[in-house]
Structure 1
Amino acid sequence: MNTTTVPPIYGLLLSGGASKRMQRDKAQLAYAGEPQLLRAWRLLQAVTERAFVSVRDTQRDDPLRAGLPQIVDSYDAIGPAAGILSAQDTFPHVAWLVVACDLPLLDEATLHRLIVSRDPAADATAFASRFDGLPEPLCALWEPASHALLKERVEGGSFCPRKALIMSRTSLLSTPGETLDNINTPAEFSQMQQQFGLRR
């Protein structure tokens, strides 16, 4: 009989981006009056055992983030990989449900589907992008086994989490449609606000 224990799932909300194209902190962008960071935080809390917000050191006292459990980046500014690796270093024996804070259409049903479809024997479980069919790294379950390759790639100068998933044993799920569409520019934010309003 296989007595291997399946690692528990913790949530990691990535909020440490510089938001250069948006020209303002994307975590503070509001839909229906609620900052999207807090909306995403509620979703993660609902489906995981514990949840944390990933922040840069300069963000830890930001009023929007200060009241939430944090994991501070312990790597240089290398993008989302810094948050993922920092979380894995802090709790190396858990699987991380990693979610970017700029997915305003993300819903609890999508996260439940990811968890129910999880393959703990893989390095990760991820959705396929609706644009190119490649793994979506910023709404994915990163198992403890994913840490070694991601860290090796970062130390070698490759900071792209998606490429790490492509090279890993990733269980790829069909796309959940528009729910993983992100926003990066003021124009996209304006369009998403209109779309969000129509949906509600």
Structure 2
Amino acid sequence: MSAVVAPPIYGLLLSGGASRRMQRDKAQLAYAGQPQLMRAWHLLETVTERAFVSVRAEQRDDPLRAGLPQIVDGYEAIGPAAGILSAQQTYPDVAWLVIACDLPLLNRATLQTLLDARDSSSNATAFTSRFDGLPEPLCALWEPSSHELLKHRVDGGSYCPRKALILSRTKLLPAPGDALDNINTPEEFEQMQRQIETAS
């Protein structure tokens, strides 16, 4: 009896957010002279077989995104679930390592920890939040089997990918320190920028 082969892993960089609190495109925020989108992209493509950036239709020709392989959201105004579902529908037989583009402290070691802990028999593998202990959906490995539940919830009007992970068979890992801290406001950006530039 042959062993079950786990689906291949593709990477998805979520960059389609409206960034209302930041009041500017988070993907373009620069740390140590490099836009956050490109910092995250280089990280993702080093640990996955193929990688894509998730965009809204109106972002396709944005100079920062235009040169990268894209998956265009097939859903309107439902947040990160739009990117995840669109990727799953484009390549339904792969697992997706999904990361948000507003995680400036994310590093390769954190992603490798997630990949090494993968349980392909679960619907997903995810870290817990260091703030509330709930699953972190925007740095997580979504298996093909997660698609049905996520789509069912979105079709029913529930767009929260975290809730989908809570209701799924999700392998949870301890929070990776501050690696998944995100930035949402101009003040947080300035503080993070100083922190990263001081460390580099």
TM bracket (short chain): over 0.9
Q: Matched residue of 2:178: which SS?
A: helix
Which residue does the alignment assign to 1:132?
Answer: 132
CA distance in structure 1 between the partners assigned to 2:52 and 2:77 by the alignment: 19
Which residue does the alignment assign to 1:8?
Answer: 8
CA distance in structure 1 between the partners assigned to 2:156 and 2:164 by the alignment: 12
Which residue does the alignment assign to 2:113?
Answer: 113
1:117 partner amino acid: A
Unaligned regions of 5+ residues in structure 1, if any?
Answer: none
CA distance in structure 1 between the partners assigned to 2:58 and 2:116 by the alignment: 36
Q: CA deviation at 1:2?
A: 4.3
Deviations 1:134-186 (A, max 9, x none): 00000000000000000000000000000000000000000100000000000
User: Where do 1:117-196 residues align within 5 Å?
Assistant: 117-196=117-196
User: Where do 1:21-170 residues align within 5 Å?
Assistant: 21-170=21-170
Identical columns (%): 75
CA distance in structure 2 between the partners assigned to 1:138 and 1:97 by the alignment: 9
Q: CA deviation at 1:199?
A: 2.0
Q: Matched residue of 1:178: which SS?
A: coil
Unaligned regions of 5+ residues in structure 2, if any?
Answer: none
1:58 partner amino acid: E
CA distance in structure 1 between the partners assigned to 2:2 and 2:146 by the alignment: 22
Q: CA deviation at 1:187?
A: 0.5
Q: Matched residue of 2:113: which SS?
A: helix
Q: CA deviation at 1:3?
A: 2.8
CA distance in structure 1 between the partners assigned to 2:5 and 2:151 by the alignment: 24
Give the TM-score normalised by structure 2: 0.99
Q: How many residues align?
A: 200
Aligned-residue RMSD, C-alpha = 0.6
CA distance in structure 1 between the partners assigned to 2:118 and 2:154 by the alignment: 25
Instruction: Give the 4+ runs in structure 1 shifted more than 3 A.
Output: none
CA distance in structure 2 between the partners assigned to 1:11 and 1:150 by the alignment: 18
